[in-house]
Amino acid sequence: MAAPAACTRFSDNYDLKEELGKGAFSVVRRCVQKSTGLEFAAKIINTKKLSARDFQKLEREARICRKLQHPNIVRLHDSIQEENFHYLVFDLVTGGELFEDIVAREFYSEADASHCIQQILESVNHCHTNGVVHRDLKPENLLLASKAKGAAVKLADFGLAIEVQGEQHAWFGFAGTPGYLSPEVLKKEPYGKPVDIWACGVILYILLVGYPPFWDEDQHRLYAQIKAGAYDYPSPEWDTVTPEAKNLINQMLTVNPSKRITASEALKHPWICQRERVASVVHRQETVDCLKKFNARRKLKGAILTTMLATRNFSKSGRSIITKKGDGSQVKGSTDSSTTLEDDDVKARKQEVIKMTEQLLEAINVGDYEAYTKICDPHLTAFEPEALGNLVEGMDFHKFYFDNVVGKNCKAVNTTILNPTVHLLGDDAACIAYVRLTQYMDKQGAAHSSQCEETRIWHKRDNKWQNVHFHRSSNSPPFTFAPSAHK
């Protein structure tokens, strides 16, 4: 006899209970599985309110969570898509945040901190082994399975997580939380798994003394500290921390990501795997006291910012906040170091497109056809004035100008992009429109300038942007630097 068709509707399988949390597009509620009586947490997303990009992020989060099954990761048990709602059914974790639990303990030592970071590293190592980078490791995402003593630490919230191939490093966009961002992300360099280890180093530092290694109310100064790896171990609180603990932090907070310790290597560090012999077991009351203040500051700023943020998984911004003083004047506060910034990405991705356009124009200026071909799709289409209004396809038309015109009629060329406007078309396509101002010296030493309007379409393949189409308004440069054309 054929097996009965599986129920797919959420209400066929689960009973909804009280609300546990809320975001702009989602609500989290306790639910009970009808067939077993087991309790779970259901994240219910209103898909009617999602943009196509946000829907892609939701699908990515579900896909990533499905393949991560580890005792130290909040597990996704079910994913159900209905007409206007998507249900993600997770473990119900009832122990609250790890950092809140620590300050409620009667005893807390360096050895306890070692056990905490070991569990965090186990979860990160599992992610990295499965080609996942979390990108948002911070105290708010470290939960406890239950309120029982010794409950497991669980890594939560994979809304910013990405999938990578092996040890791949690429620019995946500006995402994370200010105080936990790695130098390579802040420098907008290619990055990968090491960003999670940097965040673990920040978390370990806090676990040991109750305050972060990098801190400034001004975000620019905070980022400068991080990029320089400028942290220290002040007296007297660090005097009682073992050298082995500091050694592990140093290896995690190594500015060069290629020299940073990996999760699997960190798990073999003596301070982790030989904690009974290496880590101090003296109670750290000063750490607990500082951590209470750190938690209070996080919660206060988090509450202020809640009204300004979409749910953590979708289109987060929150660069600065404006509050009114009693006299009616406005005070602009810096971004809180516990608030996730996703995609400053929109801003960063637009800058990326502008940067690629500038690189392409520079290749034209210097006559570097090889660099030009790396930036352009082999089947590049173009409406070139020189083509007399016809659509040109492929590189042969352009190669002729590189071989015979570019650099032949002038001594020096400078190109400036004016008023660039970028439209992002999903995750992997963009359109840029701009005015192109070209200045050059002819071979007689006379200065000339000209301008034209250009539009370019970019497509991202294998994390590399390629120009697939452009349209230019007039027969001024790129290629024809003939002075007579501009007299």
CB–CB of 44/29 below 8 Å? yes
Q: Is the pLDDT of residue 349 over 60?
A: yes
Q: Is the pLDDT of residue 159 over 70?
A: yes
Q: Name the binding residues.
A: 43
On whether residue 303 sits in a domain, the answer given is no
State whether 50 and 198 are in the same domain. Answer: no
State whether 20 and 65 are in the same domain. Answer: yes
Class of residue 91 by CB neighbours under 10 A (exposed 0-12, middle 13-18, buried 19+) = middle
- Cα–Cα dist 310/305, whole Å: 10
CA-closest candidate to residue 444, choices 474, 380, 388, 487: 487
Other beta carbons within 10 Å of 88: 23
State whether 139 and 29 are in the same domain. Answer: no
Helices (H), 274-405: 275-278, 285-306, 345-366, 369-375, 396-404
Share above pLDDT 90 across residues of the chain, in percent, rounded to a whole number: 45
State whether 121 and 223 are in the same domain. Answer: yes
We report the CATH number of the domain holding residue 403 as 3.10.450.50
**Which of these three, 235, 265, 298, is where a domain ends?**
298
Reduce the secondary structure of 6-64 to three states and give it as a string. Answer: CCCCHHHHEEEEEEEEECCCEEEEEEEECCCCCEEEEEEEEHHHCCHHHHHHHHHHHHH
Confidence tier at 326 by pLDDT (50, 70, 90):
very low
**Domain of 211?**
96-159+179-298
CA-closest candidate to residue 463, choices 51, 136, 63, 173: 173
Q: Name the binding residues for ATP.
A: 43
Of 72-81, 434-443, 461-470, highest mean pLDDT: 72-81
For residue range 49-67, what is the model confidence (pLDDT) as tens digits? 777 878 888 889 999 999 9
Confidence tier at 482 by pLDDT (50, 70, 90):
very low
- Cα–Cα dist 140/176, whole Å: 12
Share above pLDDT 70 across residues of the chain, in percent, rounded to a whole number: 83
CB–CB of 126/193 below 8 Å? no
CB–CB of 118/266 below 8 Å? no
157 is a catalytic site residue? no
State whether 219 and 292 are in the same domain. Answer: yes
On whether residue 325 sits in a domain, the answer given is no
Helices 285-306 + 194-209 axis angle, to 10: 120
Query: What amino acid occupies position 436?
Result: R
State whether 85 and 108 are in the same domain. Answer: no
- The total domain count for the chain is 3
For residue range 86-135, what is the model confidence (pLDDT) as tens digits? 999 999 999 989 998 898 888 999 999 999 999 999 999 999 999 999 99
Catalytic residue among 101, 112, 136, 196: 136
401 or 253, greater pLDDT: 253
Confidence tier at 398 by pLDDT (50, 70, 90):
confident
Q: Is the pLDDT of residue 194 over 50?
A: yes
pLDDT at site 225: 95
Taking the CA atoms of 156, 182, 323 and 139 in sequence, report the sign of the dihedral they define: positive
We report the CATH number of the domain holding residue 33 as 3.30.200.20
Q: Is the pLDDT of residue 441 over 90?
A: no
**Which of these three, 54, 72, 91, is where a domain ends?**
91
Q: Is the pLDDT of residue 46 over 60?
A: yes
On whether residue 433 sits in a domain, the answer given is yes
CB–CB of 151/71 below 8 Å? no
We report the CATH number of the domain holding residue 198 as 1.10.510.10
- Cα–Cα dist 444/411, whole Å: 9
Other beta carbons within 10 Å of 69: 11
Q: What does each C-alpha distance from 106 to 210, 289, 350, 454 come to in angstroms?
A: 16, 12, 50, 67
- Among the residue ranges 229-233, 380-384, 441-445, the one predicted with the least confidence is 441-445
On whether residue 138 sits in a domain, the answer given is yes
On whether residue 210 sits in a domain, the answer given is yes
Which tokens sit at 323? 């509050």
On whether residue 70 sits in a domain, the answer given is yes
CB–CB of 315/159 below 8 Å? no
On whether residue 389 sits in a domain, the answer given is yes
CA-closest candidate to residue 357, choices 434, 414, 462, 425: 434
Rg (CA), the chain: 27
Other beta carbons within 10 Å of 447: 10
State whether 190 and 106 are in the same domain. Answer: yes
Read off the pLDDT of each residue in 358-378 and give the average, rounded to a whole number: 88
Q: Which residues contact 269 (CB under 8 A, 6 or more apart)?
A: 244, 247, 248, 251, 261
State whether 102 and 43 are in the same domain. Answer: no
pLDDT at site 5: 39
State whether 294 and 363 are in the same domain. Answer: no
Residue 3: DSSP 8-state? P
Residue tagged 């995609």 (tokens): 343
**Which of these three, 41, 60, 91, is where a domain ends?**
91
Q: Is the pLDDT of residue 303 over 70?
A: no
pLDDT at site 480: 47
State whether 118 and 248 are in the same domain. Answer: yes
Taking the CA atoms of 200, 285, 178 and 300 in sequence, report the sign of the dihedral they define: positive
- Cα–Cα dist 192/198, whole Å: 11
pTM of the model: 0.65
Considering the chain, what is the average pLDDT of its residues? 82
State whether 220 and 252 are in the same domain. Answer: yes
On whether residue 343 sits in a domain, the answer given is no
Element (H, E) at 273: helix 270-273
State whether 362 and 450 are in the same domain. Answer: yes
pLDDT at site 336: 46
Residue 322: beta bridge partners? 332
Which tokens sit at 401? 């100008």
